[in-house]
């Protein structure tokens, strides 16, 4: 069957090609002329759009580890159909982030240094390690899909043998670096605006990545179910929606309670650039979607869910961008706006990601939409033991 990707964007190919070309040119410029000439970064604002993009990419790719934990560790097998798309998203997300990170480094040729030169006190070092290890884990989780396509089955068995520790390791690594992105800012209490700085940053980053990760799963299950087939039946979607609502509430309570405890709420009583950014983030990403998701009718409707999860993701993006950019603009009264080259590189890489996704979806068995009767996989050789990544024994696959 054919699944049309993002059907509403017509002429996707020329757009993507243009963006990727522009991004490539921008990247060439960045390498030829250095960071100073091509970005708006400065000594006072050494991190900008690209770091924000990394936060975003990693946060949205959290769908990968949440779904693996749910299906394979918590045995919520009925969510199986969404595992592959989620792993693919995560895999591509991480690849893009690694790409952006390397572009962002002043010395891309030294990118491998963290592997051999350690500094256990550095959050950045921990993140480098987690990123690298988790990308490897994702590759291993993704490999069976590729291998299966080419009918090379012996490594799958091998991967299957280590799959449980592998998955646990992956979930732990994600927990670590998802929160560590927050820890990056623990050391700049004097720079980061009080509305965003809190010793709880790692905790908040982790909680919010769960919400956005699951929202991404839902979004994917909705986007890719066009054409009458659903990846997840309504009941399961509604369940996930409930989980998101709980996580949003948890986040809200922790965040607000912390603001009150630290007295930072004073900042909210006046209308400033910062308080507006804060309100926007909290309302769009947490309050409104929570309000929507507690309504059963919204949870059960495709459009309602679509809107709510999209809000969560947008609010999440605002939160990360606020932490990475807005919050730092308070000190030392610096403003920063990314240069065109920074923007083009980011757009180009995003387009690359989408193109890779649609290419892979076309050529590999990623989607197994819920059919009226559970289908037997065509590709799997039934005589061999089925590796865990290939199994489709959900049992209660129902159509909605």
Q: How far apart are CA 160 and CA 146, in angstroms?
A: 14
Read out DSSP for 88-139?
HHHHHHHHHHHHHHHHHSS-GGGTTHHHHS--TT-HHHHHHHHHHHHHHHHH
Say if residues 61 and 93 touch (Cβ distance below 8 Å).
Answer: yes
**Residue 370: beta bridge partners?**
230
Select 295 or 398, whichever has its Cβ closest to another protein.
Answer: 398
Give the shortest CB-21-to-another protein separation in angstroms.
Answer: 23
Among 5, 25, 143, 191, binds another protein (CB under 8 A): 191
Among 133, 159, 172, 264, binds another protein (CB under 8 A): 172
Q: Is 120 in the site for another protein (CB under 8 A)?
A: yes
> How many CB atoms neighbour CB 119 within 10 A?
10
Q: How far apart are CA 319 and CA 377, in angstroms?
A: 41
Select 171 or 308, whichever has its Cβ closest to another protein.
Answer: 171
Helix 154-161 / helix 123-149 crossing angle, nearest 10 deg: 140
Query: Which residues are CB-neighbours of 17 under 8 A, at least 6 positions away?
Result: none
Say if residues 370 and 1 touch (Cβ distance below 8 Å).
Answer: no
Give the shortest CB-129-to-another protein separation in angstroms.
Answer: 9
Select 82 or 349, whichever has its Cβ closest to another protein.
Answer: 82
Helix 49-60 / helix 201-223 crossing angle, nearest 10 deg: 60
Residues of this chain, 17-46, that bind another protein according to CB under 8 A: 31-37, 41-44, 46
Q: Which of 140, 152, 116 is nearest to 389 (CA)?
A: 140
Structure tokens at 165: 């520790």
Q: Is 335 in the site for another protein (CB under 8 A)?
A: no
Structure tokens at 303: 């459009």
Select 96 or 214, whichever has its Cβ closest to another protein.
Answer: 214
Q: Is 362 in the site for another protein (CB under 8 A)?
A: no
Q: Is 254 in the site for another protein (CB under 8 A)?
A: no
Q: Which stretch binds another protein (CB under 8 A): 177-185, 273-281, 302-310, 384-392?
A: 177-185
Give the shortest CB-62-to-another protein separation in angstroms.
Answer: 13
Select 41 or 346, whichever has its Cβ closest to another protein.
Answer: 41
Look up residue 383 and give its DSSP letter: T
Residues of this chain, 94-113, that bind another protein according to CB under 8 A: 104-108, 110-111, 113
Q: How far apart are CA 96 and CA 85, in angstroms?
A: 16
Q: How far apart are CA 253 and CA 373, in angstroms?
A: 43
Backbone angles phi, psi at 378, to 5 degrees: -75, -40
Structure tokens at 29: 């410029």
Select 239 or 275, whichever has its Cβ closest to another protein.
Answer: 239
Select 88 or 127, whichever has its Cβ closest to another protein.
Answer: 127
Select 3 or 83, whichever has its Cβ closest to another protein.
Answer: 83
Among 60, 70, 137, 388, binds another protein (CB under 8 A): 70
Give the shortest CB-78-to-another protein separation in angstroms.
Answer: 6
Q: Which of 115, 49, 18, 101 is nearest to 339 (CA)?
A: 49
Among 12, 47, 252, 306, binds another protein (CB under 8 A): 47
Q: Is 190 in the site for another protein (CB under 8 A)?
A: yes
Give the shortest CB-76-to-another protein separation in angstroms.
Answer: 5
Q: Is 311 in the site for another protein (CB under 8 A)?
A: no
| Binding flags for another protein, 259-278, as an x/- string (CB under 8 A) | --------------------
Look up residue 240 and give its DSSP letter: H
Q: Is 345 in the site for another protein (CB under 8 A)?
A: no
Select 126 or 141, whichever has its Cβ closest to another protein.
Answer: 126
Select 45 or 279, whichever has its Cβ closest to another protein.
Answer: 45
Residues of this chain, 215-244, that bind another protein according to CB under 8 A: 239-240, 243
Look at residue 366 and give its three-state secondary structure: coil
Q: Is 80 in the site for another protein (CB under 8 A)?
A: no
């Amino acid at each position: 069957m054919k699944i049309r990707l993002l059907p509403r964007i017509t002429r996707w190919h020329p757009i993507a090609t243009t963006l990727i070309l522009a991004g490539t040119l921008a990247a060439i410029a960045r390498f030829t002329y250095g960071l100073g000439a091509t970005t708006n970064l400065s000594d006072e604002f050494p991190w900008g759009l690209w770091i924000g993009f990394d936060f975003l990419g990693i946060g949205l790719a959290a769908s990968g580890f949440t779904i693996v934990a749910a299906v394979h560790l918590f045995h919520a097998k009925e969510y199986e159909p969404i595992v592959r798309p989620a792993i693919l998203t995560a895999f591509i997300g991480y690849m893009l982030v690694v790409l952006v990170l390397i572009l962002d480094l002043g010395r891309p040729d030294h990118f491998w240094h963290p592997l051999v030169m350690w500094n256990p006190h550095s959050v950045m070092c921990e993140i480098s390690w987690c990123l690298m290890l988790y990308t490897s884990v994702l590759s291993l989780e993704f490999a069976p899909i590729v291998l299966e396509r080419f009918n090379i089955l012996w490594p799958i068995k091998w991967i299957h043998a280590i799959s449980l520790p592998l998955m646990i390791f992956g979930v732990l690594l994600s927990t670590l670096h998802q929160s560590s992105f927050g820890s990056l800012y623990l050391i700049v209490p004097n720079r980061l605006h009080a509305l965003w700085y809190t010793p709880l940053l790692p905790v908040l980053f982790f909680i919010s990545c769960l919400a956005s990760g699951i929202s991404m799963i839902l979004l994917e299950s909705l986007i890719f179910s066009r054409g009458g087939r659903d990846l997840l039946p309504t009941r399961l979607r509604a369940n996930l929606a409930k989980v998101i609502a709980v996580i949003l509430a948890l986040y809200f309570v922790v965040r607000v309670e912390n603001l009150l405890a630290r007295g930072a709420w004073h900042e909210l009583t006046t209308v400033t650039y910062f308080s507006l950014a804060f309100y926007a983030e909290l309302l769009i990403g947490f309050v409104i979607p929570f309000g929507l998701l507690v309504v059963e009718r919204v949870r059960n409707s495709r459009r309602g869910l679509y809107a709510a999860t999209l809000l969560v993701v947008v609010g999440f993006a605002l939160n990360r961008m606020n932490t990475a950019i807005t919050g730092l603009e308070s000190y030392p009264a610096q403003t920063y706006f990314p240069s065109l080259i920074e923007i083009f590189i980011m757009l180009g890489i995003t387009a690359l990601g989408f193109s890779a996704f649609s290419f892979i979806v076309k050529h590999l068995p990623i989607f197994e939409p819920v059919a009226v009767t559970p289908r037997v996989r065509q590709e799997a050789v039934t005589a061999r033991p089925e590796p865990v990544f290939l199994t489709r024994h959900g049992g209660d696959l129902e159509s909605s």
